[in-house]
A and B are shown apart, each in its own frame.
Chain A
Amino acid sequence: MRLTFHLAGINNQNFIMRDEETGTYWQQISGAAISGPLKGRHLTLVLSDELTLATWKLEQPQGTVLDDVHEYIPEYAKRDWDVRMKRAPTVLAFPEHDLTGRDLMLGIQAFGASRAFLYDRVVSEKLVKDHVGSEPVLLVVGPDDQSVRAFRDRIPGVEGVINFYRITGKPSGIVLMDDATGSEWNFQGCATSGKAKGQCLEPIPMLKDYWFDWRNYNPKTTVYGKGR
């Protein structure tokens, strides 16, 4: 059944949707039905990225962009809305790991675990090699120094430890090189040269969210750089 969703409320500063076909209420962050005939069901997550428009246009020149609705343009947010909202109060507090409620995190829920990364720290480190659960992962900052993607730290068909290195100054969005195959990798996680040319790393869904919201829905989360 195709559902049509509407903004329908808020639950501790994470919004609630209602579908007009069944009247079920859904939590935005989790895609879980929380009240109504479909309670207990989950929406299927579609892999998405938060990128700068310039980076996305380079990668997807044939893509299309959602238009503004002209009558509401005066209501639209100025750039870096999520950073500006850091001044807004929160109704939940999780004073752990020296984090404040509005710290922007990159959250990964995968491999049976939850792991959060402070966005500013990832952007400053450019390449983060870490684990989610027992799975090695890479967080890679794009050529625009703002966009971030996560990948499994494994090259299909390559055994053993692989070391990825950040490289700069390359054209065509090349951001990584590995020492196992000598390949260069672009920000989409695909090798453009070397033995691995044509192969792509497995992307991992990642959510940019405020600490209070991520922690509320991931109570067992660990935080990068704050112990496991």
Chain B
Amino acid sequence: MTNRAPTNRLIFTLVLLSCLGVSLVCVVYPIYVIRPFRHQGANELSAALVVARFRAVITVISAMAAIAAVIGYWRRRPPMWRRVLQAAAALVVVALAFLARINVYELMFHPDIHPTFTAAQDVKLDGAEKVISVRIGEAARAYPIRSMSYHHVVNDVVGGIAIVATY
């Protein structure tokens, strides 16, 4: 009769490390490539956007696999310090699954999710402020650059037409 516990423990460890690596890449690579004041090459940007698109799903699958690996490893009764180490690694993978859902760019520049508007004649802003203006049908809208240069994106409906104002 052979003792297969060490081999199984190794497999569970490799699964956990793979999950950790995949989740780390999913979270870190897009942030590394897509950051201000860094040149973005076409290929690396394309790869980073693909990773960003799928990271929410990938990191959840990775977290589930990591948890399963820890449970399997735990049942093989390795020394307690190794169990704790594995559990900590799995927790990191779970945390990365949450981090993958955070839009860091909207943490830096908070969105104007529910834009409100004031009639032109009631606006208190200085007349020298610059605005981006659009007119659709009879509806006219102005977006002050002072706020647009912070929010960057405002989803709006002007004259019944859905538009996105950007700056």
Contacts and interface: CB of A to CB of B under 8 A. Distances in A.
Centre residue among B132, B154, B165 by max chain A CB count within 10 A: B132
B117 A91 contact: no
Interface size class of A (residues with CB under 8 A): 35 or more
17 contacts: A9-B49, A9-B52, A10-B35, A13-B36, A15-B152, A25-B53, A35-B50, A52-B130, A54-B128, A57-B123, A61-B120, A63-B142, A64-B117, A65-B119, A66-B112, A72-B151, A76-B146
A8 B37 CA distance: 16
Contact of B135 (A5, A34, A60): A60
A53 B141 contact: no
Interface residues of B, number: 65
Contacts, number: 203
A45 B123 CA distance: 27
A51 B38 CA distance: 31
Nearest to B129: A53
Interface of A: 2-13, 15-17, 23, 25, 28, 34-36, 43, 46-54, 56-57, 59-69, 72, 75-82, 89, 91-92, 146
Contacts of B121: 57, 61
Interface in B37-53: 37-40, 45-46, 49-50, 52-53
Given A7-B109, A12-B39, A63 B147 contact: no
Contacts of A76: 146-147, 149-150
B145 A60 contact: no
Contact of A52 (B105, B131, B135): B131
Contacts of A5: 153, 155, 164, 166
Contacts of A3: 162, 164
Contacts of B14: none
A72 B108 CA distance: 11
Contacts of A68: 144, 146-147
A11 B45 contact: yes
Contacts of A78: 146
B84 interface: no
B112 A12 contact: no
B151 to A, nearest CB: 7
Contact of A9 (B34, B126, B163, B166): B34
B3 interface: no
A50 B131 contact: yes
A80 B130 CA distance: 8
A121 to B, nearest CB: 19
A43 B153 CA distance: 14
A40 to B, nearest CB: 13
A65 B142 contact: yes
Given A7-B153, A65-B125, 11 more contacts: A3-B164, A5-B155, A7-B103, A9-B49, A59-B140, A63-B140, A65-B119, A66-B141, A66-B147, A79-B130, A91-B37
Contact of B38 (A6, A79, A91): A91
A15 B164 CA distance: 14
